[in-house]
Amino acid sequence: MTSLLTLRRAFVINRTLIRHGLEEFLAPTPLSRLTGLMKLFALSSNKNRKLNRGQRLNQALTELGPIFIKLGQMLSTRRDLLPDDIAEELSKLQDKVAPFDSQLALDIVERQLGAPINSIFSAFEPKPLASASVAQVHSARLLSGEEVVVKIIRPGIKKKIVADLKLLHLLAGWFEKYSSTGRRLHARTIIRDYQTTLFNELDLRIEAANTSQLKRNFENNSILYVPQVHWDLCQKRVMVQEKIHGIPIGNIDELDRAEVDRKLLAHRGVEIFFTQVFKHSYFHADMHPGNIFVDAENPADPKYIGIDCGIMGTLNESDKRYLAQNFVAFFNRDYRRIAELHVDSGWVRQDVSIEEFESAIRTACEPIFGKPLDEISFGHFLVQLFQTARRFEMEVQPQLVLLQKTLLYIEGLGRQLYPKLDLWQTAQPFLKSWLAEAYGPVAVWNKIKQKAPQWFEQLPEMPDKLSHFLDTAKSRVEQQQKLQNRLTELKNAQKESAQKISLSILGATIALIWTFGITNITDNQWLSVGLLGLSITCFVVSFKK
């Protein structure tokens, strides 16, 4: 039954792509053999042939439904891999889905929270505030009078996701097998990452935990507000949190009517990003306009409000250091330093030619500096850098892809708020200050002071630890020597065994010659006797211990 459903879904996808004039995406796969047949079932031809392929792909994915819309959104973040026209159009995909039945939403809330709806909320708005592919959100009011929002996972969504993922894994395998583009895109890896993201979004406890962590990180910083999670009302399929009131970040007209300082707002967006990445090592990786609002209560001192923390990114200390140094080197046009950093960080193989890599980076980045400084894009620098690095077999890490996606969002929002935003002027002092704070002499001294009490505490034990270390090292040397001796014995035994086998084969060969000679050479008895003796000697020596 599952195979029939998968086949039927494959038929629908094939027909949809053909109807939108996207046969080229089927060309490298076995489905291309069915293109002629599928055209008979396309029912209607694409009326928008004047649209570019990215726009047509946007339409096709929208028609195929929520799972494919989210896949397109995720693919749009891989600007280091996708052609510009496709990446640009996929980034415009809107995740707006018809809501599911309100009574069904109430039933899910009651089952998940284990109580009648009126014993939890004094009011619950049946019409959802928003409806997306995985969940929808309703306004409500707690018995205490506090306004909240209730996020509810769509019923039956996991079954649909699993069914579509099976097909996507199959298509990705074909794409990698039959297309060099598919191999370059690492299609199967992308689908695996997509699957992980989707399944995480199905558990609202993960989003609640992410939200709580982000709120704690900005407790003492007034530029970003994160709503409070009501943990006693959170389950796998239901999450309740404080309702926020603000202006959507993309509503420029409303921001202007509220007389919000947009220049300050743009700079604070950049500050929030770099604070999350370099200070907290934990950043909101889905900061598109739908997830950001502005608290305009004090227009001269606006605050950001962040929601929907389903996707978060992290960076380790090594990644942070190298990334910051890459940014600084980029604006100093020190391309050799960028090449060396990629090798030192392990992002690129050690045997890569630094000179060739430096030249490729220079070729990619110099055109960026042909623009005014306030138009230079960090995000597009990362895109160019990753595209260049892939030619030298750099495997882009997922956390770096999330970072690139988030930076592109932040830059886009910043330039929309304040077109003359000089990102470097905003970011450079922060990066240099962070590098000095994290890795400068003062930082080293602070780390020594921090570790000193622990070192002094362990000081009386150091002679015993040193003695144990030396004993262990000596034991390891002895074990290695024994192992080496054993390997030598095995090699000698193998050599001796090979010699005996060779003598046995030689003896058997001579015996055959001797036998042939006795029956055919009657007038050469001395030769026959000599051959027999030599054969016997070979056998005796080969069996001797």
Could you say which of 80, 164, 261, 286 is catalytic?
Answer: 286
Q: Which CATH class is domain 96-162+185-243?
A: alpha beta
Helix (H) or strand (E) holding 31: none
How high does pLDDT run on average in the chain? 78
Q: What is the pLDDT of residue 2?
A: 47
> What number is the average pLDDT over the span 441-470?
66
Top-ranked range on mean pLDDT: pick from 41-55, 147-161, 430-444: 147-161
| 319 labelled catalytic | no
Q: In which order are the strands placed within the sheet that holds 303-306?
A: 224-225, 303-306, 292-295, 247-248
Distance CA 128, CA 126 (A): 6
* pLDDT tens digits, 229-259: 999 999 999 999 999 999 998 889 999 999 9
Q: Torsions phi, psi of 138, nearest 5?
A: -120, 145
- Buried b / exposed e over 226-235, threshold 16 CB at 10 Å, is bbebbeebbb
HEC string for 291-328: HEEEECCCCCCCEEEECCCCCEEECCHHHHHHHHHHHH
Q: What is the pLDDT of residue 141?
A: 96
* Whether residue 36 has pLDDT greater than 60: no
> What number is the average pLDDT over the span 525-529?
60
Query: Is pLDDT larger for residue 349 or for residue 215?
Result: 215
Does the model's pTM come out above 0.85?
no
Q: What is the pLDDT of residue 300?
A: 93
* pLDDT tens digits, 480-510: 777 777 777 777 766 767 666 666 666 666 6
Distance CA 340, CA 357 (A): 9
